[in-house]
Structure 1
Amino acid sequence: MNRELVGRSYPPTSYTVTTEASERYAHAINEDNPRFFGEQGHERVAPPLFSVVYHPKALGQAIGDRELGIDFKRALHGEQDMRFHAPIRPGDEISTAARIVAIEDRGSGETIAIELVSHNQHGDPIETTLFTLFVRGASRREARDEPVEGAASRGEPVAQVTQHLDDDQTYRYAEASGDRTKIHLDAEAARRAGLPGIIGHGLCTMAFVSKALVDELAGGDPTGLARMALRFARPVIPGQPIETRVWAGSRPDEFAFETVDREGRPVVSQGLAEIRAAAR
């Protein structure tokens, strides 16, 4: 990739949040939190990861930059780090700007990190995301395997949550998020890509994990989730369970987590969550 583009910024994109879009997304990730539906006297807010619905327009300007030279056939979504500054509400006018912040060698390839910063119509910061893409076989140095780190040595978890991805999860998520990549919808296309069949969206898995964190650590208050960062370690197969394990971190507001499939293999690793004091 063209490292001269590090630091390049792109014009902000805009998006209007609607109740319909927010609820459609919540249903697509199997949410039942009354705050996302304005029930039980709660003010209606969107799920924390709803920003993935409007990110692609801004993100596309960066990763689609012809000067960058990404080979998308070898690209994988490697990591996501999201900091939640304020709730997203229906009626918000969201402006999101993208900036390339790093291009680096990693293992047998390269990574590109893109920062996405969103504000509402009042100029208030809503959320900041660091999106990291891994491009296989593009490294300038000798290839070296980098094992995915697990969390098995952290002792007894403070929380364990089992969730189930429905057989039709990828179809519902595709409609709500706008991510209609064929490997999530077409079994033959997935097999041509070297996969066993249709796989779940990584950001859908992340949304499932966010529910586990909010319910177990923030008392069900989604505004209590201040940060969520992770590495995507392995695809999730629809129709199968996942289990998220959470450990106390080095600070009262910090937690480590890992999510595994039914075979006990990490699908999400190196997880870090920060919970606001008011929600703990």
Structure 2
Amino acid sequence: MTGHLDMAFTYESLMSHHIPEVRQRLSKRDSVLYALSVGFGQDPLDTSQLEFVDAHRHLKAVPMMSVVLAHPGFWMADPATGIDAVRVVHGEQRIAMHRPLPVEGEVIGTTRITGLVDKGEGRGALMYSEKVVRDAETGTLLATTKSTTFLRGNGGFGGPPGPVAEPHSPPETPPDSVVEMPTRPEQALYYRLNGDDNPLHADPAVAARAGFPRPILHGLCTLGIVGHALLRVLGDYDSARFRELAMRFSAPVYPGETVRVEIWRDGSFRARVPERDVVVINNGRAVFAAPEEGAAR
């Protein structure tokens, strides 16, 4: 990369960048769209899945929808940030659920940058950000989501070299459950309707400039697919039991591939694409409450 891109922002300028608060009127249609966009409803005989996608039933919201609720959009493309937006990669994601999500209503999302790590000129940078989602009417805290973004074109700006958290390591024993989650060729186009319209996931020319042979699936769509498998295996489709999720994105998924999710009883997990024998999600850890705790929430 050229030096002017590596020095496109300073530590102080990016840390102080204001990301506008977002208010979103959530409808049942939005909740169903999210569930469908991450693969719920692919088995029409599984009534547990239908509870997330059939608006004629008593709908439940998918907990992973917290990552798209009141989403600020692709704000990193704003030239004022100084970020080389074409070379941005989602590195890690965390979710902490404080209350079950509503399927309709109004929510407020407040996003801020919480940290920067400078890996050095030509080596990129890590940006940590946090979004807090609240019920707009009551102010009740619903979810906190935290992201690590790898800014591949922005190293060498004079920021701190750390700290960098150690990732969770899965057990060395074979997984206790393995779930095959198919994706669809057009799935990224559906997922974009949740508010993440980065052209990397739709435009072949943009994907080529970023070094990919074709548009890739959103990392957060992969998160939703993996979260679906975890909700099935560890939570018995009881969304009220979902507490925490943390994962590292290690390789992209191309729409149409299969995501094979390997799950351990302690909540550890990883995911791979068997067609290419590539690990796409690693260092995963999920926390689910016991059934009676979920019911009492």
* TM-score under structure 1 length normalisation: 0.84
Paired residue secondary structure (1:248) = coil
CA positional deviation for 1:223: 2.0
Aligned with residue 79 of structure 1, among 70, 76, 92:
92
Aligned with residue 44 of structure 1, among 56, 59, 69:
59
Structure 1 20/106 Cα, relative in aligned 2: closer, same or farther at 3 Å?
A: same
Amino acid at match of 2:71: P
Q: Write out per-residue CA displacement over residues 103-122 of structure 1, whole angstroms, 9 at most, x where no aligned residue.
A: 11347221111111011021
CA positional deviation for 1:39: 7.3
CA positional deviation for 1:56: 2.9
Amino acid at match of 1:138: N
Aligned with residue 256 of structure 1, among 264, 268, 276:
268
Q: 2:24 matched to 1:15?
A: yes
Paired residue secondary structure (2:113) = strand
In structure 2, how many angstroms separate the alpha carbons of the residues matched to 1:19 and 1:229? 27
Paired residue secondary structure (2:71) = helix
- Tell me the equivalent position of 1:161: 179
The 8 Å contact of residues 249 and 282 in structure 2, kept in 1 or not, is answered as: yes
CA positional deviation for 1:67: 5.8
Structure 1 168/9 Cα, relative in aligned 2: closer, same or farther at 3 Å?
A: closer
In structure 1, how many angstroms separate the alpha carbons of the residues matched to 2:208 and 2:78? 28
CA positional deviation for 1:74: 2.4
Paired positions, count = 267
CA positional deviation for 1:215: 0.3
Q: Write out per-residue CA displacement over residues 25-72 of structure 1, whole angstroms, 9 at most, x where no aligned residue.
A: 21222203233246796x422211223333432773xx4676642221
- Tell me the equivalent position of 1:219: 236
Structure 1 55/105 Cα, relative in aligned 2: closer, same or farther at 3 Å?
A: farther
Unaligned runs of 5+ in 2: 1-8, 42-48
Structure 1 192/266 Cα, relative in aligned 2: closer, same or farther at 3 Å?
A: same
- Tell me the equivalent position of 2:10: 2
CA positional deviation for 1:8: 6.5
What are the residue-to-residue correspondences of 1:68-217 with 2, within 5 Å? 68-106=81-119, 108-120=123-135, 121-140=137-156, 154-175=172-193, 177-217=194-234
Q: CA RMSD of the aligned region, Å?
A: 2.9
Unaligned runs of 5+ in 1: 250-254
CA positional deviation for 1:164: 0.9
Q: Write out per-residue CA displacement over residues 78-112 of structure 1, whole angstroms, 9 at most, x where no aligned residue.
A: 11111111122233210111122111134722111
